[in-house]
Amino acid sequence: MSHLVRIGFIGCGNHASQNIYPALRLGITGSPTVTDPIGELVACCDLDESRARRNARVFGFQRCYADYRTMLDKEDLDCVFAIMHPRIQARIAIDCLEAGKPVFVEKPPTETLDDASADKEACERSGQFVMIAFMKRFSEPYRRTRELMQRPEFGLPTAYEARYNFGRYVAPEVYDFLNAFSCHHLDLARFFMGDVASVYALYASRSGGVTGRPRTYAEVLNGRDRAIPQEEAWLLSLQFTSGAIGFLQTNCLERVQERVTITGQGSWVVVDDWRRVTAYLGNTEIPYYWEPNDQVPTDRLDLRTLHGYTGEVRHFVECVRDRRVATPNIDDGIAHLRLEQAAKRSALAGRPVALSEIG
C-alpha cells in the first residue's frame, strides 16, 4: 500500500475521545515525534451527530456521519476503528469485515464467546483481521518488562504474580467486572507467560453492602440485582501450559492499584502502579530501575503513549499498510474470554477448571 492508510472511526464516546483519537495524532498523522505519518483521517461516526461533528472538527477528520453503514458505503477506507460497548462491537466489527475493512475494536471484543467466534468466522470469510485494544501490551513499563524477560540472564519465567484493583465498580447491567476491567490482566498473564492450561478461582462479594460473611459466586448469580454496583474480589491460581505457575488477585473493593512480579531463575522483575520497573538479573547486585521522567513535556511522555494507546494504534495501521495480521487479534480475545469463563466455572464448582473444558 503506497498511499497513506485511509482511516474511518466509529464511536465518539468519552474513552475514544480522551485516548484513542488523540493517539492518532501522536502515532499516525504526525506530531513532533512522528516524522513519518502513515495515515489519513477520512471520516468519523457516532449516533449522536453533534459528537461526530465535534470529533471531526477537533481531531481533523474530513467528514462525519451519524450512521456507520452509510460511512462504509460512501467512503473509500482502508481500515476502521470501532470503539464501542462490547455488547454491540461484534455486529459492527462483522459489518466492517464484510465491507472488506480490517477493524480495531476496544477490549474486551465481546461479552460472550459466541459473539467472539462470530467475529473470527467473519475474519476467515473476509480475509481481514480484528485487532483487540489490549493496550497494556504496548505500554512502556510492560514493554520494558517483556524485553528484560527475554535477556538470557533472566532465565526461564517460572512464577507470575499480579494485583489489579479498582474501587467500587459500575453495576453489571453496564459492565461485568471480570470481563470488562480484569480482562487487561487476564491478557497480560498470557502476554508474559504464555497460554493458560487451567485456573482455580476463589470469589467473595460485598455487593449491596453485605455484612458478615461475603456472598459466594453461586449466591451472587442466583440473586444478583444487576443494577447494584459491583464490590467483589477474585483470586485466580493459574497453571500455564509451559508448566509455570501464577496468580492474579483482582477486586473492586479498594482504591486503584496495579502490580506485576515475574520470577525467572535467580532473577525477578517488578512493575509498580503501571509505572516503575525494578529488576535484578542474574547475579548482579545492581538493580535495573526505570520510571518516566515526566517533568519533561514531550509527546513520548504523553500518558497516551506511556500507557500504550499510541503504540497500539500505530501497530494496527502499520499492519494494515503492510498487509499483515495485527497482534493481539481475535484469537487473543477468544483466549481471554475462555480464561474468564473458566474462572467463573471454577468459582461455581469449587475446583480447578481446564481451559480445554471451555468450548
Predicted local confidence at residue 1, as pLDDT: 59
CB neighbours of 21 closer than 8 A, spacing ≥ 6? 9, 55, 58, 59
The helix/strand/coil state of 222 is helix
C-alpha closest to that of 230 among 199, 195, 206, 247: 206
Predicted local confidence at residue 18, as pLDDT: 97
Rounded CA separation 170/61 (Å): 32
Predicted local confidence at residue 3, as pLDDT: 85
Predicted local confidence at residue 270, as pLDDT: 98
Tally Cβ neighbours within 10 Å of residue 188.
Answer: 23
CB neighbours of 90 closer than 8 A, spacing ≥ 6? 109, 110, 115, 116, 118, 119
Predicted local confidence at residue 276, as pLDDT: 97
Dihedral (Cα; 325, 303, 187, 178), 10-degree rounding: -130
The helix/strand/coil state of 278 is strand
CA of residue 258 relative to chain centroid, distance: 15
Say how many Å lie between the first and final Cα of the chain, rounded. Answer: 38
pTM of the model: 0.95
Coarse DSSP helix, strand, coil percentages of the chain, rounded to the nearest 5 percent: 40, 25, 35
CA of residue 137 relative to chain centroid, distance: 8
Rounded CA separation 288/280 (Å): 6
CB neighbours of 102 closer than 8 A, spacing ≥ 6? 78, 79, 80, 96, 128, 129, 130, 131, 316, 319, 320, 326
CB neighbours of 121 closer than 8 A, spacing ≥ 6? none
CB neighbours of 276 closer than 8 A, spacing ≥ 6? 141, 289, 290, 291
Rounded CA separation 8/79 (Å): 6
Q: Which domains does the chain have, with CATH numbers?
A: 5-133 (3.40.50.720), 137-307+328-357 (3.30.360.10)
Whether the Cβ atoms of residue 45 and residue 82 lie closer than 8 Å to each other: no
The helix/strand/coil state of 291 is coil
Whether the Cβ atoms of residue 309 and residue 112 lie closer than 8 Å to each other: no
Residues of the chain with pLDDT under 50: none
Whether the Cβ atoms of residue 123 and residue 97 lie closer than 8 Å to each other: yes
CB neighbours of 347 closer than 8 A, spacing ≥ 6? 201, 202, 203, 216, 217, 218, 234
Q: Quick check: bond before 328 cis, omega within 30? A: yes
Predicted local confidence at residue 272, as pLDDT: 98
Predicted local confidence at residue 274, as pLDDT: 96
Predicted local confidence at residue 33, as pLDDT: 67
User: Residue 156 corresponds to which amino acid?
Assistant: L
Whether the Cβ atoms of residue 157 and residue 262 lie closer than 8 Å to each other: yes
